[in-house]
A and B are shown apart, each in its own frame.
Chain A
Amino acid sequence: MKHYLRTVIGLLVGFALIATACGGSGDSTATDAGEEVSADGGAESEDAGEESGEESDADAAGFATHVVPDDFPTIQAAVDAASSGDLIMLSPGTYSEAVDVTTDDLVIRGMDRNTVILDGNFELENGIRVIGADGVAVENMTAMNYTKNGFFWTSDVTGYRASYLTAIRNGDYGLYAFGARDGLIEHSYASGSPDAGFYIGQCYPCNSVITDVISEYNGLGYSGTNSGGDLFIINSTWRHNRAGIVPNSGSYEGCAPERETTIVGNIVHSNSNPETAAIDAALLAMGNGIALIGGIDNLVERNLIWDHDISGIAVAPFPEDNPINGIPDEYPVDCLENAIPALPDDAASLPGTLFWEAQTNVVRGNVITDSRTADIIVVQSAEHGNRFCDNDIATTLPTDLETLAPCEGELQNLGGEAFVAFFDILESTKPPSVDYKSVDLPDPGPQPNMPDAETAEPVPARAPEFPDTTSITVPDAPE
């Protein structure tokens, strides 16, 4: 993106300097997102099987249990034979399979998360791919060495759940939900993917929750393009990635823009790791804990953030080169199927670079330390209505950010220094990607198993309960 940067900086700085206070127009709607009243949304699979200690009986229980390899030699054979609502149980062992699931409401469960291993051997594309099937839950297993994704839901899915999953060294994403809504990703671990450990994209409203996950040694800890709307990322750890939590807008997927993602109660640290596999977007975002890139109405609240080469939290535009479409005049109110808008008749009418502005985001009550450029960086003008308050911070760019752009009251001129600094950073050379097949990864050790994996009844995936984020406090630092 270097060729246009200088011009762009000039324009932006100029614009920032003339922009004047515009209190009132920038009120965020993101503050509403956390007020859904509910219990913890992540408990279904733990509670489901407490009544039943017996092997399932199809007639009595209303579902059949298919055991691999006892009943079927492969996971795919069991999946193909199963009916909606059935439970597929995987015995400990290594499975070199790429499994496609097209039946609704299946529950696919490993008997032991750490010894039920799907291995792609760097030849197979996806570990378990749920394609157009609603309500499928995948539980308690590991997927590694796939050329693309460990666990993947796609193609207009309503209802999905990932519980107690481990994804290591997969070539695109660890856990990947694309064009899927009503999802719950919980108690899971992902490392070693050049794109994101966890991804939710192309959905609005997404109605989805990520809770209690660990994402490390990826290009991005979390990525989500054009997703949002009751989308919660809570109570999780994002560390040692190139960049931590990075939602963004772009025309290269449907449902633009990214908006209304709620990021609360996470531990985010040391996301400046130069020794991961990384796609270009991860190189660009490198050194930032949480980066809102061209997104709207997001809420970032009460996260504990430290040790970043650039910032703890960055709010910045996404300059998209060679866009395939413009920014929509009206944002879709319901986006899942047929998500790609019609392409313009005259492609030449599109700008060479499309600027997705980060707007009306709220950053509140975070605790941020040890950021080498600034704890919070804002590369937008006052007119974009981003607001900041109650953060426990030492440095911001621009300085006095919480006075200039408070959560309540008038927004004042933010000046141009952040633009210059930020684009200088973007232009700087980053340590190149390391091949995901050979990159050094930490041994995560045995990961927690799903309770009662051998006896719990299958519970198909339904829309999760939304968390009461007002009850989430800043997490304690790990010992």
Chain B
Amino acid sequence: MSEKVGGLVTILATLLGAALLPAVILGVLLTAEDLPVFEPNGETALVQAIDNAFAPVDAEIEAGTEMVWLNRGRNGHNIIPEDRDPAWTFEDVSFVPGDEVSYVFQTPGTYRYYCSIHGTLTAGMPGVVVVTDPS
């Protein structure tokens, strides 16, 4: 690509970006406001943290269900949400053998997480909770 063409592309991209930005922000706000929230339904589901894996790795629950992670292994584990600014988290993300942590997922979506001691989002000790729309 020549410098001239490259410059044009940059300018176009900048203009386009500037034009799209408010729409993107608006979209996020609208989406956040539109996400359905379901009341706790009194149900619980279990993921066991063993050494060194979540079992099952993929859990599926209906929105409103309380997901419980129980440490049944010999090592301590933690649960780190995928996002830097997560919509869900715990007060204490670490739990030792015999302990449990829990969270009520009220909004449908796919929630990825991992244990930072024994892995990353993609290797070692990952997990995912798929929260479905009960309606």
**Which residues of chain A have a CB within 8 Å of any CB of chain B?**
100, 102, 125-126, 131-132, 148, 154-155, 172, 178-179, 195, 201-202, 225, 250, 252-254, 279-281, 322, 324, 340, 343
Interface hub of B48, B52, B119, B120 (most chain A Cβ within 10 A)? B52
B40-59 with Cβ < 8 A to chain A? 48, 50-53, 55-56
Shortest beta-carbon distance from A40 to chain B in Å: 32
Determine whether the beta carbon of B120 is less than 8 Å from that of A100: yes
What per-residue 1/0 map shows which CB atoms of B42-85 lie under 8 Å from chain A?
A: 00000010111101100000000000000011111000000000
Complex-state Cα separation, A281 to B123, whole angstroms: 27
Q: Which residue of A lies closest to B50 (CB)?
A: A252
Determine whether the beta carbon of A324 is less than 8 Å from that of B48: yes
Q: Which residue of A lies closest to B124 (CB)?
A: A155
Determine whether the beta carbon of B117 is less than 8 Å from that of A126: yes
Known: A125-B116, A132-B123, A148-B117. A154 touches B72 (CB 8 A): no
Known: A131-B119, A225-B51, A324-B50. A343 touches B56 (CB 8 A): yes
At the interface, is chain A mostly helix, strand, loop or mixed? Answer: loop
What per-residue 1/0 map shows which CB atoms of B110-123 lie under 8 Å from chain A?
A: 00000011111001
Determine whether the beta carbon of B53 is less than 8 Å from that of A340: yes
Determine whether the beta carbon of A279 is less than 8 Å from that of B123: no
Determine whether the beta carbon of B117 is less than 8 Å from that of A340: no
Which 7 residue pairs spanning A and B have beta carbons closest together?
A132-B123, A155-B124, A155-B123, A252-B50, A252-B73, A253-B51, A125-B117
**Which residues of chain B have a CB within 8 Å of any CB of chain A?**
48, 50-53, 55-56, 72-76, 97, 116-120, 123-124
Complex-state Cα separation, A68 to B55, whole angstroms: 40
Shortest beta-carbon distance from A148 to chain B in Å: 5
Determine whether the beta carbon of B119 is less than 8 Å from that of A324: no
Determine whether the beta carbon of A154 is less than 8 Å from that of B55: no
Complex-state Cα separation, A200 to B3, whole angstroms: 57
Q: Which residues of A contact B76 (CB under 8 A)?
A: 148, 172
Shortest beta-carbon distance from B121 to chain A in Å: 11
Q: Which residue of A lies closest to B53 (CB)?
A: A340
Given A125-B117, A131-B124, A324-B48, 16 more pairs with CB closer than 8 A: A102-B123, A148-B76, A148-B117, A172-B75, A172-B76, A202-B51, A252-B50, A252-B72, A252-B73, A252-B74, A253-B50, A253-B52, A253-B73, A280-B97, A324-B72, A343-B55
Q: Which residues of A contact B123 (CB under 8 A)?
A: 102, 131-132, 155
Complex-state Cα separation, A280 to B96, whole angstroms: 12
Complex-state Cα separation, A324 to B76, whole angstroms: 17
Q: Which residues of B contact A126 (CB under 8 A)?
A: 117
Known: A172-B75, A322-B72, A343-B56. A155 touches B119 (CB 8 A): yes
Determine whether the beta carbon of B120 is less than 8 Å from that of A154: no
Complex-state Cα separation, A340 to B75, whole angstroms: 16
Known: A252-B72, A252-B73, A279-B74. A132 touches B50 (CB 8 A): no
Shortest beta-carbon distance from B46 to chain A in Å: 8
Q: Which residue of B lies closest to A250 (CB)?
A: B74
Complex-state Cα separation, A132 to B118, whole angstroms: 11
Q: Which residues of A contact B52 (CB under 8 A)?
A: 154, 178-179, 253
Q: Which residue of B lies closest to A132 (CB)?
A: B123
Q: Which residue of A lies closest to B115 (CB)?
A: A125
Q: Which residues of B contact A125 (CB under 8 A)?
A: 116-117
Complex-state Cα separation, A253 to B118, whole angstroms: 13
Q: Which residues of B contact A202 (CB under 8 A)?
A: 51
Q: Which residues of B contact A250 (CB under 8 A)?
A: 74
Complex-state Cα separation, A179 to B51, whole angstroms: 10
Complex-state Cα separation, A444 to B106, whole angstroms: 54
Determine whether the beta carbon of B51 is less than 8 Å from that of A252: yes
Q: Which residue of B lies closest to A323 (CB)?
A: B72
Q: Which residue of A lies closest to B51 (CB)?
A: A253
Determine whether the beta carbon of A178 is less than 8 Å from that of B51: yes
Q: Which residues of A contact B75 (CB under 8 A)?
A: 172, 195
Known: A252-B73, A281-B74, A324-B72. A340 touches B50 (CB 8 A): yes
Q: Which residues of A contact B48 (CB under 8 A)?
A: 324, 343
Complex-state Cα separation, A155 to B120, whole angstroms: 10
Complex-state Cα separation, A279 to B51, whole angstroms: 14
Q: Which residues of B contact A178 (CB under 8 A)?
A: 51-52, 118
Q: List 8 A-B contacts (CB under 8 A).
A: A126-B117, A148-B76, A155-B124, A178-B52, A225-B51, A252-B72, A324-B55, A343-B48
Complex-state Cα separation, A102 to B122, whole angstroms: 11
Complex-state Cα separation, A343 to B70, whole angstroms: 15
Q: Which residues of B contact A254 (CB under 8 A)?
A: 53
Q: Which residues of A contact B120 (CB under 8 A)?
A: 100, 131
Q: Which residues of B contact A280 (CB under 8 A)?
A: 97
Complex-state Cα separation, A189 to B102, whole angstroms: 39
Q: Which residues of A contact B73 (CB under 8 A)?
A: 252-253
Q: Which residue of A lies closest to B120 (CB)?
A: A131
Interface hub of B51, B116, B123 (most chain A Cβ within 10 A)? B51
Shortest beta-carbon distance from A155 to chain B in Å: 4
Complex-state Cα separation, A53 to B104, whole angstroms: 62
Shortest beta-carbon distance from B94 to chain A in Å: 10
Determine whether the beta carbon of B118 is less than 8 Å from that of A154: yes
Shortest beta-carbon distance from A1 to chain B in Å: 13
